[in-house]
Amino acid sequence: MTVSPDAFPPETDITGAFVRHLGVEFTELTPDRVVATWTARPELHQPYGIVHGGVHCSVIETLASVGGGPGAGPGAPRRGGVWGGSTTHE
| pLDDT for the residue 12 | 67
The answer on pLDDT for 24 being more than 90 is yes
Higher pLDDT, 51 or 4: 51
Q: What is the pLDDT of residue 21?
A: 93
Residue 84 has phi, psi (to 5 degrees) of: -140, 125
Q: Is a pLDDT exceeding 60 seen at residue 4? A: yes
Prediction pTM value: 0.73
Are residues 2 and 27 in contact, defined by beta-carbon separation less than 8 angstroms?
Answer: yes
